[in-house]
């Protein structure tokens, strides 16, 4: 694994794809009909052609992509930061100003994607040119790098100086406007490929992904199996998403807010306190959710407790106990599997067991056979059978029962927190006991630092 910040091999596909997309934007911006209006820009006493203002860039982006000003500014800024557009005023600062500041398109010769990787030799020549052209034009970090390069590629230094002088002489023969443009273009290129210290390195792409492509032929078996799948019509599946989102909309705090308030916004943890694992009176939304699916009921500790109470009344609580024990086997420690399987067999499956569960003979036979060599998934079939039994039979009846209806009736609907009289007064953010507290039950935070109301929840 190598850290892909400096030139190493070619550009990664991710980088090329981004560059290509930005270049497409550039091309669209320069389209003779739909592109940007260019004008001449006056820089001190020189007139630079084919320039545009920051404001123009942003306006064009807004119109082309139907985005807001903030987004256009952000996108435009990316184009500047990656060197596709460079500023004429304050050229060392690659920033997009949404005003009359002048900018120009970078020539494809200096696109990062074209000249990759940037070579040390070229950088040395560039710094040498600057040094020769005007004493003191090199800033501090450039001076440091210049002397470092001088040490490192000392053997080619004559060549470096010669090239620099040659390029300077050639440029003196150009018009002043062209010379300024070329200097700006080159400077912008090096600001990106050799960023100043403290400036973000735009060409930092993180870890190079080796892309360990194997030369295996794509699995035929998988495709064959896939062909044999039962598929459901799109209309039915997609309708499912609409229904699900509708059902859960009121329960989605980001979409609908939550009562009494969102703790992250109000700094008040009442919402969390009211919805702790075990509370004296649950909220109405929470009890409603138990009716959405059997999974919802079982995954809520209080819901599960209520359901157990109901099953006890119906003399079928062994089903839920069995299911819970099977969960323990599936997700528990490997070392305890054999012991737990034995317990489950004794308590639930053996003939005359105290809490015998009613499984069909085929599943029972298969399970008993599997128990001879117990493993983590040996109870899966039996567990699923009982799960679906509860889901299809006991669960719907529970939802119609008085037990559930009463729970729903006395469930609390929190009041929305009234906005503070002094809106800028920040509430004190209280810490909560860490779940990592060894041995101690996770106590409920009650809004007052230092007191623990042991509401007895557990993990």
Partner 1 sequence: VQVNPVKSQPTTSPLIPEMATQEVQLNETLAHLKTESETLKTKLEEERAKLHDVELHQVAEKVEALGQFVMKTRRTLKGHGNKVLCMDWCKDKRRIVSSSQDGKVIVWDAFTTNKEHAVTMPCTWVMACAYAPSGCAVACGGLDNKCSVYPLSLDKNENLAAKKKSVAMHTNYLSACSFTNSDMQILTSSGDGTCALWDVESGQLLQSFHGHAADVLCLDLAPSETGNTFVSGGCDKKANVWDMRSGQCIQSFETHESDINSVRYYPSGDAFASGSDDATCRLYDLRADREVAIYSKESIIFGVSSVDFSLSGRLLFGGYNDYTINVWDVLKGTRVSILFGHENRVSTLRVSPDGTAFCTGSWDHTLRIWA
Q: Which residue has the tokens 């128990």?
A: 371
Cα Rg of the chain, angstroms: 35
Q: Per rule CB under 8 A, is residue 335 in the interface with partner 1?
A: yes
Stretch that binds partner 1, among 44-52, 131-139, 187-195, 252-260 (CB under 8 A): 252-260
DSSP state of 195: P
Stretch that binds partner 1, among 9-17, 50-58, 318-326, 394-402 (CB under 8 A): 9-17
Q: Per rule CB under 8 A, is residue 451 in the interface with partner 1?
A: no
Q: Is 441 helix (H, G, I), strand (E, B) or coil?
A: coil
Shortest Cβ 363–partner 1 spacing (Å) = 15
Question: Could you tell me if 417 and 268 are in contact, meaning their C-beta atoms sit under 8 angstroms apart?
Answer: yes
Stretch that binds partner 1, among 45-53, 227-235, 357-365, 396-404 (CB under 8 A): 227-235
Stretch that binds partner 1, among 18-26, 117-125, 160-168, 346-354 (CB under 8 A): 18-26
Instruction: Give 117 or 332: the residue with its C-beta nearer to partner 1.
Output: 332
Q: Per rule CB under 8 A, is residue 393 in the interface with partner 1?
A: no
Shortest Cβ 215–partner 1 spacing (Å) = 9
Residue 41: beta bridge partners?
48
Question: Could you tell me if 456 and 441 are in contact, meaning their C-beta atoms sit under 8 angstroms apart?
Answer: yes
Residue 368 CB contacts under 8 Å (≥ 6 apart), including other chains: 349
Q: Per rule CB under 8 A, is residue 436 in the interface with partner 1?
A: yes
DSSP state of 296: H
Which residues of 73-221 form beta strands (DSSP E)?
85-87, 102-105
- Chosen residue from 44, 172, 241, 419 binding partner 1 by CB under 8 A: 241
Selection from 294, 392, 380 nearest residue 337 by Cα:
380
Stretch that binds partner 1, among 40-48, 287-295, 349-357, 415-423 (CB under 8 A): 287-295
- Chosen residue from 45, 217, 354, 425 binding partner 1 by CB under 8 A: 217
- Write out the binding residues for partner 1, residues 140-199 only, by CB under 8 A: none
Shortest Cβ 133–partner 1 spacing (Å) = 34
- Chosen residue from 44, 45, 220, 354 binding partner 1 by CB under 8 A: 220
- Write out the binding residues for partner 1, residues 52-81 only, by CB under 8 A: 61, 65, 67-68, 70-71, 74-75, 78
Q: Is 374 helix (H, G, I), strand (E, B) or coil?
A: coil
Cα–Cα distances (Å) from 173 to 60, 128, 169, in that order, read 36, 19, 7
Report d(CA 162, CA 147) in Å as an integer.
Answer: 17
- Chosen residue from 246, 372, 400, 450 binding partner 1 by CB under 8 A: 246
- Chosen residue from 50, 143, 176, 225 binding partner 1 by CB under 8 A: 225
For the chain, counts of helices (H) and of strands (E): 21, 4
- Chosen residue from 144, 252, 360, 416 binding partner 1 by CB under 8 A: 252
Report d(CA 296, CA 288) in Å as an integer.
Answer: 10
- Chosen residue from 332, 370, 414, 441 binding partner 1 by CB under 8 A: 332
Q: Per rule CB under 8 A, is residue 32 in the interface with partner 1?
A: no
Q: Per rule CB under 8 A, is residue 425 in the interface with partner 1?
A: no
Q: Is 149 helix (H, G, I), strand (E, B) or coil?
A: helix
Shortest Cβ 65–partner 1 spacing (Å) = 4
Size of the site for partner 1 (CB under 8 A): 98
Q: What sections of 30-68 are H helices per DSSP?
A: 54-65
- Chosen residue from 100, 239, 339, 365 binding partner 1 by CB under 8 A: 239
DSSP 201-218: -TT---BPP------PPP
Q: Which residue has the tokens 């030369």?
A: 215
Instruction: Give 351 or 439: the residue with its C-beta nearer to partner 1.
Output: 439
Rounded to 10°, the helix 317-331/301-314 angle is 140
- Chosen residue from 1, 354, 421, 425 binding partner 1 by CB under 8 A: 1
């Amino acid at each position: 694994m190598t850290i892909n910040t400096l030139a190493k091999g070619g550009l990664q596909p991710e980088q090329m794809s981004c560059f290509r997309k930005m270049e497409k934007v550039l091309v669209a911006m320069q389209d003779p009909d739909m592109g940007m209006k260019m004008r001449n820009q006056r820089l001190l006493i020189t007139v630079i052609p084919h320039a545009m203002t920051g404001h123009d860039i942003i306006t064009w982006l807004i119109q082309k992509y139907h985005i807001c000003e903030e987004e256009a500014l952000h996108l435009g800024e990316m184009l500047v930061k990656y060197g596709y557009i460079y500023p004429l005023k304050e050229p060392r600062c690659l920033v997009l100003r949404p005003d009359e500041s002048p900018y120009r398109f970078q020539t494809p010769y200096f696109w990062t994607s074209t000249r990759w990787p940037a070579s040390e030799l070229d950088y040395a020549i560039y710094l040498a040119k600057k040094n020769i052209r005007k004493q003191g034009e090199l800033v501090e970090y450039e001076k440091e790098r210049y002397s470092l390069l001088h040490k490192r590629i000392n053997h080619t230094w004559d060549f470096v100086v010669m090239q620099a002088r040659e390029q300077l002489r050639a440029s003196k023969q150009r018009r002043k406007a062209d010379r300024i443009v070329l200097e700006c273009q080159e400077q912008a290129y090096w600001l990106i490929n050799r960023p100043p210290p403290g400036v973000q390195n735009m060409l930092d792409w993180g870890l190079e992904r080796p892309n360990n492509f194997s030369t295996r032929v794509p699995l035929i078996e998988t495709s064959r199996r896939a062909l044999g799948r039962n598929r459901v019509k799109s209309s039915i599946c997609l309708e499912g998403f609409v229904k699900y989102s509708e059902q859960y909309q009121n329960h989605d705090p980001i979409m609908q807010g939550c009562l009494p308030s969102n703790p992250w916004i109000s700094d008040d943890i009442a919402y969390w306190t009211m919805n702790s694992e075990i509370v004296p009176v649950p909220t109405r939304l929470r009890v409603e959710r138990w009716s959405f699916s059997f999974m919802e009921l079982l995954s809520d500790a209080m819901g599960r407790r209520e359901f157990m109470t109901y099953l006890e009344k119906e003399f079928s609580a062994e089903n839920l106990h069995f299911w819970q024990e099977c969960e323990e086997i599936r997700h528990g420690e490997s070392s305890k599997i054999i012991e737990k399987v034995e317990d489950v067999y004794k308590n639930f499956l053996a003939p005359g067991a105290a809490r015998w569960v009613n499984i069909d003979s085929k599943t029972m036979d298969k399970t008993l056979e599997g128990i001879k060599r117990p493993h983590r998934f040996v109870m899966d079939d039996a567990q699923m059978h009982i799960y679906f039994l509860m889901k299809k039979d006991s669960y719907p009846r529970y939802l119609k029962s008085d037990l559930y209806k009463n729970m729903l009736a006395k469930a609390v609907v929190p009041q929305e927190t009234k906005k503070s009289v002094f809106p800028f007064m920040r509430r004190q953010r209280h810490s909560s006991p860490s779940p990592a507290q060894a041995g101690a039950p996770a106590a409920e935070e009650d809004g007052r630092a230092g007191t623990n109301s042991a509401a007895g929840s557990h993990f």
